[in-house]
Structures are given as C-alpha cells and as structure tokens.
Amino acid sequence: AQKVTQAQTEISVVEKEDVTLDCVYETRDTTYYLFWYKQPPSGELVFLIRRNSFDEQNEISGRYSWNFQKSTSSFNFTITASQVVDSAVYFCALIGGGTSYGKLTFGQGTILTVHP
C-alpha cells in the first residue's frame, strides 16, 4: 500500500513571505512518481510538477521550487515571495507500481491562505 501525508492542514502567511508545504510519502516500489496539484478557490485541479523516483534533482520554476529527498521520503514545495493568487489547496500525490499502477494516491491537502 502507498500513502501520502501532508502534515500541515492549513497555513496562513502574509504576502511576500516564503512558505514551504511538506509532503512525506510511503511506498514499497523502487520506481514511483510524485506530483503536486493546486486547487484554487474556483475548484479545478491544476497540475504543477511531476518528479520521477530516479531523479532527485531539485526544480525551480519562477517562485516555485521543489525539494525531493528519497532518504527522508519527502517531496516539499516552497513558494518564494508568496502572493494572494497563491491562495489555494495544494495536494501532493504519488503513483507507484504493482497493484497501484496508474492510480494516484493523494495527500489530505494543505490549505494555503496568503493575506495582503
């Protein structure tokens, strides 16, 4: 079985603060894929990033960065200089192998509120 845990249920910051959303996963598979999705107040799910288990390079995309560490089974997401438009629910998710092939397992989600 696989599991994704997002320890922070809610985070509240003031605009321009940096914020990190934590994600810890469990899987017995040696090959797996990790994802982050954003769900803004409008409700749709927006794909942000995919990371393969054999690629531990960190990634930066504008104000977003992701830190993947296999040794601690973590895939954390940092927003630098947060903005009000970053307010959303963020989900970390995992696709493993075996009987979990093709099926996303989601974390519980972290509600991020950025205040002006």
Partner 1 sequence: NAGVTQTPKFQVLKTGQSMTLQCAQDMNHNSMYWYRQDPGMGLRLIYYSASEGTTDKGEVPNGYNVSRLNKREFSLRLESAAPSQTSVYFCASRPGHFYSNQPQHFGDGTRLSIL
Of the two residues 102 and 116, which places its CB atom closer to partner 1 in the complex?
Answer: 102
Which of 43, 57, 62, 116 is close enough to bind partner 1 by CB under 8 A?
A: 43
Q: How far apart are CA 55 and CA 66, in angstroms?
A: 12
Under rule CB under 8 A, residue 41 binds partner 1: no
DSSP assignment, residue 31? S
* SS3 per-residue string spanning 76-112: EEEECCCCHHHCEEEEEEEECCHHHCCCCEECCCEEE
Residue number with CB closer to partner 1 (80 or 100): 100
Which of 19, 82, 107, 112 forms a contact with partner 1 (CB under 8 A)?
107
Distance between CA 91 and CA 37 in Å, rounded?
5
Which residue ranges make up the site for partner 1 (CB under 8 A)?
A: 4, 9, 33, 35, 37, 43-45, 47, 50, 52, 91, 95, 97, 101-109
